[in-house]
Structure 1
Amino acid sequence: MKLNWKLPLLLGAAGVALTAPEFAALAQEAAAPAAEAAPAAAEVVPTINDGDTAWMLISSVLVLLMTVPGLALFYGGLARAKNMLSVLTQVLGILCLVSILWVFYGYSLTFGEGNAYIGDFSKAFLKGVTPESISGTIPEYVFVLFQMTFACITPALIIGAFAERAKFISVLVFAALWVTFVYFPMAHMVWAGTGMLFLDGALDFAGGTVVHMNSGIAALVACIFFGKRIGFGKEAMPPHSLVFTMVGAALLWVGWFGFNAGSAAAANATAGLAAINTFVATGAAGIAWLLIEWIAKGKPSLLGLASGVVAGLVAITPACGTAGPLGAMLLGAVTSIVCFFFCTTIKNAFGYDDSFDVFGIHGVGGIVGAIGTAFTANVALGGVGYEPSLGAQLWVQVFSVIITLIVSGIGTSIILALINFTIGLRVAPDAEREGLDVAEHGERAYN
């Protein structure tokens, strides 16, 4: 029993004078009921919190909104008109496919006990998950639902790198293999209690490494495997509808509050911190991209502003629950400038055809955000995350980046090589020239 240190102060303030034996007797008497209640307190049964459950259900729907229609419209607007429907179909198809795989074995491989690198099949087909089972303060079904939305959007992000030239069947096969052998292991290592990076103390509140860096590295590998679009670098390939892209970016921003604040798994102060960081970091990133583009190119563009917004969302994802608002703004602005440099100077220098700059924004933004989290989360620098030395946490963050580079880079390469050797990755040249809407799906976005 730990004696309440305020007790003698309260008694003294009331004018009550006690001898040492009298005080000891009073303390013993006060401690007796608490000691009797101790066993009961140790047997606290987890209960469902209605407020937490409601917030997590809303967050799940918000993350779904990010994928469809958010990501679908953002990418669709960036495509040429003849490929608009192919992009929408790929995003929607991946969403439907991965949701099934998540229930079959994805949830189990991600959050099953397993080992340091992958879960197990103890919860395959959601075995043992019932309406009565609880995860924290919410029903386990709600936790399964929320995490499923993350698994669905991550492979859908990758398609922006090889848009306008991929076979639809190859996209579906790639998505199935990639989530199985790349996403599920990475999510387990970072978020599951037995995961290697989780035990190392890596800070990734909502998926900077698991979702964005993971998909961004895969995107770079993919656009190299697929090769350049016909006419890339020789003819203009402007977005066919920046209106759709703007609407998609806005829906991504709105949905991202579920993505980040929902990762608190409760309606609490941490969720509030994640929400305000998601707002201000994104605003700072948007302005930073706007200004740097204005200086470099002479005019600020809507595409640049939308790109900066997404870069800021990516940057703050791993840090949103541990950074202070000022640190979040700084991280968003710095990441946006770095992403602008990669989407322009670096991309032009190396000549790779990353159709919608998935690597430049999600890959690079994920790396900067993951490493930057070590700085913004430090209490000495205004964060709320931890108090160890900056150097120690910085190494943990860098190590998590290295592991993600290895797992995503090698895993994606093997999967794409296998698909290319069997069913092939690209459509025929004539189909690419005609447009994938008609060639692959037999329909047009506009008639």
Structure 2
Amino acid sequence: MRSFIKKDLLIFIRDWKELLTVLLLPIVLVIVLNFAFAGLFDGDEVSMDLQLAVVNQDNETEAMEQLKERLVSDAAFEEQEANAIVEAAGEIQPVNLLSDYLESDDVKEWVTVHDLEEKEAAKKVKEGDLDGMLIIPEGYNADSLYASFAGEPPTKSLIYKMEEETMNSSALQQFIQGFIEQLNYQFAIQEITGGAEIEAALPEGGLEDIGTEHDFTMTQYFSIAIGALFALFVVATVAMKTGVEIRDHVFNRILLANSHPMRFLIGKMASTICLVVLQIIFVLLVSHFLMGVFPERSIAFWGGIFVLIILLALVLSGLAAIYTAILLRMNSVDAANGIFMLATLLFGTLGGGFVPIYMLPDWLQQIGEWTPNGLFLAILTEWIQFEDLSAIAQPSMIMIGFFLLFTFIGLALFPKRGKAQ
């Protein structure tokens, strides 16, 4: 087996162009992307100046009278009971709560509110002077309170409009959605408790600490994601070198030497493990020394990193076995190479190698965690933040499962003697 492993390593190392690509290009990309996305997900505070127009079409002075009339006529409340409800509802009018929320100290740091008419607000939003506009429709106060006390769904809702979806307009939408969710929560409590002494708690703005031991920075993200991405390219390259061996009749000479063909496949897997481990360690260490990616971390932390790299290398060795078996079964080496590159691009995209995975839709993020590089990124994220073995035990077992599955598929696809194309 030593000869087979040495053969594959030498074939790869002698290709200086390929070697420099998988070693130096990831470092260049990590540096460039780190500067391009500087501060986007880091722990530094980000200041935003969101401009919101509020168009209030409701008449708050008439809201309580409208509520009383609907409680008596539509919900069949007694007038005395309706008066008591109206008196209690005066303290939790949704429009007043919204105004208090937008004027609170936490939110004022992020949002500047402009009270405007609808036409003027729409014009300013279209011209880009404002990020969005919030319309409070006529009768919103009375309808919301009636729905809460009568246990019926509301017929009116707040309307948020924006010219185009940007980071600022989406942030405003999140602020408003947070208020609505909290308001619905308070009304749900009121319905359960019968409206007794309800205090409407407003959602608070700002950043939330989720209790991690260490921050996870974009520099760390790019170092891991780019390293894993180029490990996929290493796998494809190792398999592609099989085409070179076919053209040079290396595989035929192995058969003539009466060596078992399976040694050829196992040699590919072993060389893939060596190359992937060396490549990712090189990327992480160089990135660390150039940009201080993992400052002041313990030996145990680096030991965990190494173990996880070994797990990824095992999974990718199984993938290399599949690629090699496919190539040996195909008539066209170029067609096989195209399949490998397509798979690499697919894994790279879903696993967060080409764009930050946080920018992908939730369903794509969930799919991405079932790719080798995506799962590796998820496990390392947990390890960097918490350094807790229990948190990575289950996903590590999944990686071992991937290794066994890929290896079984590779062995099953590997052509029998005389069947290789």
Q: TM-score, normalised by structure 1?
A: 0.24
Q: TM-score, normalised by structure 2?
A: 0.26
Greater relative contact order, per chain length (Cα 8 Å cut-off, separation 6+): 1
**Structure of greater Rg:** 2
